[in-house]
Structures are given as structure tokens and as C-alpha cells.
Amino acid sequence: MQSVVIILSAGMGTRMQSDLPKVLHNIACEPLLIHSMRTAAAMDCQKTIIVAGHGSEEVEKVAINFNPNAEIVIQSEQLGTAHAVNQARGKLLDFNGEVFILYGDTPFIKPNTLKNMSKLRENGSNIVVLGFNTDEQNSYGRLIITEDGSLEEIVEFKDATDDQKKINYCNSGVICTDTNLLFDLVSEIENKNANNEFYLTDIIKLAKNRNLKCATVECSESEAMGINSRVELAHAESYFQEEKRTEMMLNGVTLTDPNTVWFSSDTVIGRDTIIEQNVIFGPETTVESHALIKSFSHIEGAHISKGAIVGPFARLRPGAELANNSKVGNFCEVKESQIGEGAKVNHLSYIGDAKIGDNVNIGAGTITCNYDGVSKHLTEIGDRAFIGSNTSLVAPIQLGSDTMTASGSVITSNIPDKALGIARSKQENKLNFAVKFFERLKAIKLINTKDK
């Protein structure tokens, strides 16, 4: 069956109190819209059409970046959900098949749920609406179900009678129907209601007038969660994190204190990896199996290989690649660098734009001086090198394998294999000077206090 997904995303999102279009606010470091687009992508549909309005240029950029084949249509005036759907008509003139309507502000709809809706349609329902039950007070549209279990009507909260408002079965907004039928019904919709808007929900009444069959599929309240304010955004974030933590643990990842670990939507972690308390994963991070991420580490855009140990208090930035059994520890920052197998960067170091070989030991306080104020430069360190504490490596620079630097050195020229680089002034010992010096200081202090 050919299918398309239309994602309604033109609304202003007034209650977000934001300059950013609502659908570009993040959950788990990813815009709401992308969550809906992921669901669409999992449906293997022929087209994904985004209806954009407020901030459409930004919305388009984000959408195309995720799926270059996504098609954007603009709804310049937000006259309602039916009017929004109608903007996609031109893109589907020659299309015959199934259509799913999703919202850009309803991020948790599961592909499986859409598949269930599709099955119900195949079994003879012309329109299938996704509903959910809730005991909480809310202003969702109400689903009116007849005795035979079919869907009779959707009544918007503002237009509902007191009795209808008491119905617990609500409209998630998600619809599955036939494309031609959809546009046919949408063209009949009027805006005679409390909001003077063209309600997509009116297609049910219109379908019933034609004796068509309408049905519902039920999902959980959380799956149907729509985001209208920052309070709801925070609520959705914690729901997402809870689900992700559970999924991680069920896949064999140990979370010492699950509630203190925060993932991005794309975080991937292998079996038997342990994540201690208070760890944050930004976008695009993968961790292989049997790694250990200690407390208070902040990790984004990094790849951590098997058996590596990170933290406590490590900061891994984009492009950090840790090979098997390597270590990046206490108060170290790594950016755009490869850390070789078994290599150690354990104390208070900054490693940026570097290629560090296998079994290298980076001493405490080592800094790669990678930036000259204009360009970034590379530091290369060969296998088994031993970098003395407090070495500054002024890039571009190459240190061969089995090299060593004297601690405190400022290394500005390359070091050949097996050599020691030492770059600091030579030490001189002045005998008895320390004692004499203190005596002199004490004498001066005595004179000064007598004067006062």
C-alpha cells in the first residue's frame, strides 16, 4: 500500500512564549518535529509533507536536514487544521493511497500504532482516528462513540456540551484515511464554530453523512501527549528520558541511578556498559560494550570503544574517539581527537585536534595548544609516548613513537622516535639561600612593625 504522511506544523505555539517555532523546541536534544519525522520515516511512506507557517524558513531547514526528500508546504495564515491539511493538496494530486496525519507538536506516536490504524482501515473502516483515555481535565477534542463501537463525531472542547466534556475518550489528532477521500471531505468543511476555524475533526461528521465507516484505535495518554507550553515540554522530556532509561537497562546497560542519567534521542550504548550517577549524553554519541562512564561526565558527539573508562568529571566533545581500553579521566576535556588503544589521559588535560597513539600516557595538566587565534592545528603523538606532566604541545607538532617529554616543557618542535624532548630553563641550586632569604624577610618585617 502506498502511503504519505502529512505533519501539521504551522501553528504559532503562543503558549510557548518563544521566538522559536514550537516544533523546533527540543526533546532529548532533538526538535519536536524530528520526533514526528522519525515516526514518518519508520512508515516507509512515499512522501513526507510538512505544513509549515510560523518560522517556516527555520522549520524547513531542520526538516530538510533530517530528510532531504521531505516536502514543505506553507500555510501563511493559520485558519485551522483542515485548512492546514488542504495546503498539501497540490502535492498529492496524482497520488492514490493512504495518508496519515501527524502533528509536529505530538512527538511520541509509535510507528506500530500507525500500522494498527492502517490494518483497521484495510478491514473496512474509511477513517481511523487515534484516541486515548484520560481522567485528567483537559481541552482535547472528545470522541463520540456509538453503541456498535464506531466513531460518530469529534467534538472540539470549546464546542462541546457539558455532558460531552465529561467523556474521557479524547482525540490525539492522528488520522489515517484514504488521500482522495481526505481532500474530498476537507473541501466541504466550514468554519462555523467557536473558533471560526476549519476543523479537520469535522471530516467524521461529513463521512457519516455519506454512510462511511469511522473507527478509533486507542493508545496510551503518554503516547498521545501534545506539547503546548514549556511546562508540557519539560513533562514530555522526563517521560522520554524515563522510556529511554528503561530501554537502555532492558538492553543490558547498567544505570547506577537511572534518574540522573540524561540521553539524547540518538544515544547508542552497548551491553554491559556501566553508567554511574549524573552523566549527560548530548547528540550523536555511541558507546560500545563493557565501557565504564563514571559520575559527572558530559559527553557529546563522541565514540567510546569497548572497555574504555571515562570520568569522573570528563568532558568529551564532538569528534572525541576513544579506542578500546583507553581512559579519559578527572577534569579532562577531549575534542576532535583520537585516543589510541590503552592510552591514558587521566588528570586535568585538554586534548584538542590530536591523534594520540596506542598506550600513550598523557601526564597531568598536559595541554595541546591547538589554536593560534585564527586556525586549528594538529598534534600527533606516536605509540607508547610518555608525556610529562604540565607539558604544552604547541601545534602543529609531531612526537614520534616511544618519545618522552620532560615535565613542564613547552614543546614547539617535533620530537623524533625514542627521543626525550626537554624545553625549559635549566635548574640551578643556590646553597643555603632559602634559609638566608627567610631571615632577611623576617628582619625587614621586624623593622617595619617597630616604626608603626
Catalytic residue set: 347
- The reply on whether position 103 binds ligand UD1 by CB under 6 A is yes
Q: Which is nearer to Ca ion, 226 or 283 (CB)?
A: 226
- Interface pick for ligand UD1 out of 16, 49, 51, 362 (rule CB under 6 A): 51
Whole-number Å distance between alpha carbons of 31 and 17:
17
Q: Which stretch binds ligand UD1 (CB under 6 A): 102-110, 182-190, 379-387, 425-433?
A: 102-110
The least CB distance from residue 320 to Ca ion, in Å, is 39
Cell, residue 236: 514530555
Q: Which is nearer to ligand UD1, 106 or 370 (CB)?
A: 106
Q: Are the beta carbons of 256 and 276 closer than 8 angstroms?
A: yes
Task: Give, as ranges, the residues between 64 and 83 that touch ligand UD1 (CB under 6 A).
Answer: 75, 78-81, 83
- Straight-line distance from the first to the last Cα atom of the chain, in angstroms, rounded to the nearest whole number: 98
Task: Give, as ranges, the residues between 68 and 97 that touch Ca ion (CB under 5 A).
Answer: none
Q: Which is nearer to ligand UD1, 170 or 387 (CB)?
A: 170
Q: Which does 83 bind (CB under 5 to 8 A by kind): Ca ion, ligand UD1, none?
A: ligand UD1
Cell, residue 65: 536536514
Whole-number Å distance between alpha carbons of 352 and 359:
18
- Interface pick for ligand UD1 out of 3, 9, 325, 379 (rule CB under 6 A): 9
Q: Which does 78 bind (CB under 5 to 8 A by kind): ligand UD1, Ca ion, none?
A: ligand UD1
Q: How far is CA 269 from CA 253, 299, 340, in A?
A: 7, 12, 20
The least CB distance from residue 189 to ligand UD1, in Å, is 10
Q: Which is nearer to ligand UD1, 197 or 288 (CB)?
A: 197
**Total residues contacting Ca ion (rule CB under 5 A)?**
1
The least CB distance from residue 157 to ligand UD1, in Å, is 8
The least CB distance from residue 4 to Ca ion, in Å, is 22
DSSP-assigned letters across all residues of 401-425: TT-EE-TT-EE-S-B-TTPEE--SP
Q: Considering only CA atoms, which of 152, 153, 158, 155 is closest in space to residue 139? A: 158
The least CB distance from residue 137 to ligand UD1, in Å, is 14
Alpha-helical runs (H) found in 173-215? 179-186, 203-209
* Other CB atoms within 10 A of residue 451 CB: 6
- Interface pick for ligand UD1 out of 127, 160, 170, 316 (rule CB under 6 A): 170
**Phi, psi of 16, rounded to the nearest 5 degrees:** -75, -20
Q: How far is CA 236 from CA 12, 101, 240, 269, in A?
A: 19, 21, 6, 22
The least CB distance from residue 211 to ligand UD1, in Å, is 23
Q: Considering only CA atoms, which of 310, 269, 277 is closest in space to residue 295? A: 277
Which own/partner contact pairs does 111-115 have at CB distance under 8 Å and 24+ positions apart? 111/39, 111/42, 111/43, 113/174, 113/217, 113/219, 113/223, 114/39, 114/43, 114/174, 114/176, 115/43
The least CB distance from residue 282 to ligand UD1, in Å, is 26
* Other CB atoms within 10 A of residue 428 CB: 5
Whole-number Å distance between alpha carbons of 348 and 301:
21
Q: Which is nearer to Ca ion, 226 or 258 (CB)?
A: 226
Q: Considering only CA atoms, which of 374, 401, 398 is closest in space to residue 386? A: 401
Q: Considering only CA atoms, which of 15, 70, 14 is closest in space to residue 38? A: 70
Q: Which stretch binds ligand UD1 (CB under 6 A): 168-176, 250-258, 280-288, 388-396?
A: 168-176
Binding mask 205-244 for Ca ion (x = CB under 5 A): ---------------------x------------------
**Total residues contacting ligand UD1 (rule CB under 6 A)?**
29
Amino acid at 262: W
The least CB distance from residue 13 to Ca ion, in Å, is 9
Q: Considering only CA atoms, which of 133, 197, 200, 155 is closest in space to residue 173? A: 200
Q: Which is nearer to ligand UD1, 8 or 29 (CB)?
A: 8
Q: Which does 81 bind (CB under 5 to 8 A by kind): ligand UD1, Ca ion, none?
A: ligand UD1
Peptide linkage before 21 cis (omega within 30 of 0): no
Residue nearest to Ca ion (CB): 226
Residue nearest to ligand UD1 (CB): 141
- The reply on whether position 132 binds ligand UD1 by CB under 6 A is no
Task: Give, as ranges, the residues between 198 and 237 that touch ligand UD1 (CB under 6 A).
Answer: 199-201, 226
- The reply on whether position 270 binds Ca ion by CB under 5 A is no
- The reply on whether position 105 binds ligand UD1 by CB under 6 A is yes
Q: Which residues bind ligand UD1 (CB under 6 A)?
A: 8-11, 51, 53, 75, 78-81, 83-84, 103-106, 140-141, 154, 156, 170-173, 199-201, 226
Q: What is the binding site for Ca ion (CB under 5 A)?
A: 226
